[in-house]
């Protein structure tokens, strides 16, 4: 895929083409739309160029994955290129909040695997809510040095306090802005 992207950028001259694993994304002026005949759809010009390149070399692609709009879902986050920000999808954020509240029951016991799964989910959310990092401290402290995935671990007050703190801040969080300031001088 790297060679194909190199061709797209340096030979076909598609500007601002980005890749994440097997997903590519870009942006374009909303007035620069072209018909892509195989899909019978009007799509951004840079996307049409990329699809035509893929067609010319026989690289398969699916219509359902060719999306565009003012907000784009990229690796499970809503990315708004106009506001230059990213946040969790509303339903993903609500599911995380419910999972945190369900987990944060003082005096209950959870498996090491449950602790690790929740920590992983929270770590993923840190991509767009990096200031919530302190909310992982107690989870990591409780799991440090433990190896048996089915071993039960007590949910203590520190874990409950930190997870409740994360929930409180998730309710009010806007996501992450790509620039510190959005005003230009």
Mean pLDDT of the chain: 90
pLDDT, average across residues 60-72? 85
Decide: 112 and 150 in contact? Cβ < 8 Å: yes
SS3 (DSSP) at 121: helix
Percent of the chain with pLDDT over 90: 61
pLDDT score of 180 more than 70: no
In whole angstroms, give the CA distance from residue 112 to residue 89.
27
Residue 116 to residue 94: CA distance in whole angstroms: 19
Give 40's DSSP letter: T
- Please determine, for residue 140, whether its predicted confidence score (pLDDT) is greater than 90: yes
Using a cut of 0.75, tell me whether the model's pTM lies above it.
no
Q: What single-letter DSSP state applies at residue 80?
A: E
The closest alpha carbon to 142, from 97, 108, 94, belongs to 108
CA geometry: angle 98, 102, 103, nearest 5 deg: 120
Give yes or no for residue 184 having a pLDDT over 70: no
The continuous run of DSSP H or E covering 165 comes out as helix 157-172
Instruction: Name the most confidently modeled range: 78-92, 128-142, 166-180.
Output: 128-142
Inter-residue contact 175 to 88 (CB < 8 Å)? yes
- CA–CA gap between residue 60 and residue 156 (Å, rounded): 51
Alpha-carbon gap, residue 51 to 45, rounded angstroms: 10
């Amino acid at each position: 895929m790297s060679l194909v992207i190199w061709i797209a950028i340096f030979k076909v001259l598609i500007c601002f083409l980005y890749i994440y694993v097997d997903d590519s994304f870009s942006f374009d002026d909303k007035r620069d739309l072209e018909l892509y005949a195989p899909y019978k759809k009007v799509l951004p010009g840079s996307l049409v160029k990329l699809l035509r390149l893929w067609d010319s070399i026989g690289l398969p692609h699916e219509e359902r994955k060719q999306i565009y709009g003012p907000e784009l879902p990229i690796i499970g986050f809503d990315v708004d290129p106009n506001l230059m920000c990213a946040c969790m999808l509303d339903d993903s954020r609500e599911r995380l909040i419910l999972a945190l509240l369900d987990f944060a029951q003082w005096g209950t016991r959870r498996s090491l695997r449950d602790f690790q799964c929740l920590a992983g989910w929270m770590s993923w959310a840190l991509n767009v809510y990096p200031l919530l990092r302190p909310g992982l401290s107690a989870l990591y402290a409780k799991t440090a040095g433990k190896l048996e995935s089915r071993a039960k671990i007590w949910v203590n007050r520190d874990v409950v306090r930190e997870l409740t703190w994360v929930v409180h801040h998730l309710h009010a969080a806007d996501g992450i802005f790509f620039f510190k300031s959005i005003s230009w001088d």
